[in-house]
Amino acid sequence: DSSPLPAASAAARTTAPPPPPPPRLTVEHLARIFDGRRVVDDVSFDVPAGEVACLLGPSGCGKSTTLRIIAGVEMQDEGRILVDGALVCDTVFRIPPERRRIGLMFQDFALFPHLSVVQNVAFGLTGPAAARRRRAAELLERVHLAHHIDSYPHALSGGEQQRVALARALAPRPRILLMDEPFSGLDERLRDDIRDETLSLLKDEGTAVLLVTHEPGEAMRMADQILLMRGGRIVQRGAPYNIYNAPVDRAAAAFFSDVN
């Protein structure tokens, strides 16, 4: 028959495309005051899914405090945090840390010495034992430690332990992974390999990452966006080479001058 065009195609011409998803992590106007000093001062940024944002700056500039507020183990005095567009905390409302689906990895985030490697990685998982072990084993394979699955932490090198810690942090499929100077305890020769391996696993998992470091070289190597911090404030932000090539001021230029 000769029916007119279906209504759907007319609608398709006039309907706007679906809005993009909200950023995985949104930080808005965060501030923290210690002894009258704003150690975190009006910090705002977004991290989309699958991206690594790097909070970069000298010691004492407020990086770890920012990370701890996002993790929920420290409270802010101003500002709010959203995950996938949903409020996680502001100055009156607060979802507890264990319900934020945020993974943590710190330099001295020790493994449990009395648990095997696979038990360490499966520790935070729920569900049937076989499924937990399967997920843990899959991640251990991804960090090239399948042969150490039933070893105990003391039998592993520092770099291997760090890879177990990464697998453990990613096992519960966190929406966001927070990493505070995760590689600084490692031998210089190991770091490049572990950074590359970490990056490739993070990209495969699609996790949004906030990495804290005081090393510009690490930020250059790992970040999609760098948030350059000084005295509690973000003084410059952008893609690594944009910041490297056009530092905002002399101090930023000097800070980047030892990148090799």
In the complex, the residues that contact Mg ion under the rule CB under 5 A are: 64
Residues 6+ apart with CB under 8 A from 20: none
Q: Closer CB to ligand ADP, residue 153 or residue 182?
A: 182
- For residues 168 and 138, give the distance between their C-alpha atoms in angstroms, rounded to a whole number: 11
How many residues of this chain interact with ligand ADP, rule: CB under 6 A?
Answer: 10
- Considering only the stretches 4-12, 59-67, 115-123, 129-137, report the one whose residues sit in contact with ligand ADP under the rule CB under 6 A: 59-67
Q: Closer CB to Mg ion, residue 106 or residue 132?
A: 106
What letter would DSSP give residue 62? S
Considering the rule CB under 6 A, would residue 59 count as an interface residue with ligand ADP? Answer: yes
- For residues 182 and 244, give the distance between their C-alpha atoms in angstroms, rounded to a whole number: 22
Q: Closer CB to ligand ADP, residue 14 or residue 59?
A: 59
Considering the rule CB under 6 A, would residue 47 count as an interface residue with ligand ADP? Answer: no
Residue 39: contacted member of ligand ADP, Mg ion, none (CB under 5 to 8 Å, by partner type): ligand ADP
Residue 103: contacted member of Mg ion, ligand ADP, none (CB under 5 to 8 Å, by partner type): none
Terminal Cα-to-Cα distance of the chain (whole angstroms): 72
Closest CA to 74 of 132, 117, 32: 32
Contacts to ligand ADP from residues 60-79, by CB under 6 A = 60-65
CA 117 from centre of chain: 23
